[in-house]
Amino acid sequence: MPRRSAPSSVLVLLLAAALPPVARADVDRIEPPGVLAREALVMVSPHPDDESLLAAGTIRRLASDPRRFVRAVYLSAGDRATVPGPCNGIPERTKVERLVRLREAETRAAWRVLAPGRRVPIAFLRGPDLALVASTSVTDGLHDDVLSPAGERAVAAAARIAAALPRGVQRALLLTTARYDAHPDHRAAYEAASRAARTLRRRGVAVELWSGIVHDEIADVDVPVCCIGDLHWPVAGPRHDYLALTDSEERPRPPVWDRVEDVSDLGGVRGDALAAHVSQVIGYPPLCMPVAIPDYYVRFADKVEEPFWVE
């Protein structure tokens, strides 16, 4: 074997030694070009499907450059996406375990659409769905969240994994859900990405953090049903309609985003990626997984712009 081909395996070993334990399982799936990458894209996703809802076109565009290292981390498997209780004779606990495996498999299928031909390392942290945040208060429309103990563990682990990039990376783009999102788990993902950004900047990596809303607050904050903003965003008409976002005394409309990615040339990508999340878009009766709002995914599939706040 030519001498110059040896270092890639050596680098993989070095990288394995450098990564925190929680990320080691991913090392064997890091592509050799990724180890030598100078740029990285990291998706910090609260749940399976948020990567596609938020940024399918952006991910596809950036992941199409094989020199860019790409990785993804999921804080929660979305284990509450089922009718509570036993289902079709399956005990609750077994049902949830199967649901988690199903949603993770769907997520891997979605990444085959988002980053075709690539083996993106994906970390699933399995934090508790809808329970990463213990309590929240709102000042001037901005949530101040207190993480639950399990939420703190998931956020800390996600931040560590998101910052565990090949040593040669000089520029990193972190994608996540916004601090303005109505879903508490989504704001927890933002917190994880923010911590990762700080860590990477301390190491001298040039970082941009792009965040966007998946669930808008439909009305005043603290409505009794979580994430009812599903009905509100995106709205009919222009898919990046800033004026559609809630504006009330309790929840002033957030500042307008800084950047809109035109992904109209990638028309089918979001729809195809979402289609991989079968249990979410058409439901999965064997595990009593209903689709609460079918139209929600249809509207997201139609979206041709991806708006982000940039930090």
Q: Which residue has the tokens 């049903």?
A: 225
Quick one: which segment of 40-48, 79-87, 105-113, 201-209 binds Zn ion (CB under 5 A)? 40-48
Quick one: which segment of 10-18, 23-31, 44-52, 284-292 binds Zn ion (CB under 5 A)? 44-52
Amino acid sitting at position 283:
G
| Cβ-based nearer residue to Zn ion, 80 or 201 | 80
- What is the closest distance, in whole angstroms, from the C-beta atom of residue 46 to Zn ion in the complex? 4
| Cβ-based nearer residue to Zn ion, 48 or 271 | 48
Count of residues near Zn ion by CB under 5 A = 3
- What is the closest distance, in whole angstroms, from the C-beta atom of residue 129 to Zn ion in the complex? 9
Q: Cα(79)–Cα(72) distance, rounded to whole angstroms? A: 18
Q: Is 47 in the site for Zn ion (CB under 5 A)?
A: yes
- What is the closest distance, in whole angstroms, from the C-beta atom of residue 186 to Zn ion in the complex? 6
| Cβ-based nearer residue to Zn ion, 103 or 195 | 103
Q: Which of 105, 35, 106, 43 has its CA nearest to residue 66?
A: 35
- What is the closest distance, in whole angstroms, from the C-beta atom of residue 185 to Zn ion in the complex? 6
Contact 101, 109 (CB under 8 A): no
Quick one: which segment of 45-53, 122-130, 149-157, 296-304 binds Zn ion (CB under 5 A)? 45-53
Q: Which residue is nearest to Zn ion (CB)?
A: 47
Task: Kindly list the distances between the CA atom of residue 104 and the CA atoms of 70, 77, 111, 226, in Å, as whole numbers in the listed order.
Answer: 18, 7, 11, 23
Q: What residues between 174 and 213 interact with Zn ion by CB under 5 A?
A: none
Contact 68, 39 (CB under 8 A): yes
| Cβ-based nearer residue to Zn ion, 30 or 42 | 42
Q: Is 46 in the site for Zn ion (CB under 5 A)?
A: yes
Q: Which of 205, 238, 231 has its CA nearest to residue 41?
A: 205
- What is the closest distance, in whole angstroms, from the C-beta atom of residue 13 to Zn ion in the complex? 36
Q: Is 254 in the site for Zn ion (CB under 5 A)?
A: no
Q: Cα(281)–Cα(274) distance, rounded to whole angstroms? A: 7
Measured CA angle at 299 (ends 247, 81), to 5 deg: 90
| Cβ-based nearer residue to Zn ion, 26 or 129 | 129
3-state secondary structure of 140: coil
- What is the closest distance, in whole angstroms, from the C-beta atom of residue 133 to Zn ion in the complex? 13
| Cβ-based nearer residue to Zn ion, 195 or 215 | 215
| Cβ-based nearer residue to Zn ion, 50 or 79 | 50
Quick one: which segment of 43-51, 100-108, 131-139, 152-160 binds Zn ion (CB under 5 A)? 43-51
Amino acid sitting at position 79:
D
List the end-to-end C-alpha distance of the chain, in Å, as a whole number: 46
* Interacting residues of 105 by C-beta distance below 8 A, sequence separation 6+: none
* Burial class, 216, CB count within 10 angstroms (exposed 0-12 / middle 13-18 / buried 19+): buried
Binding region for Zn ion (CB under 5 A) = 46-47, 50
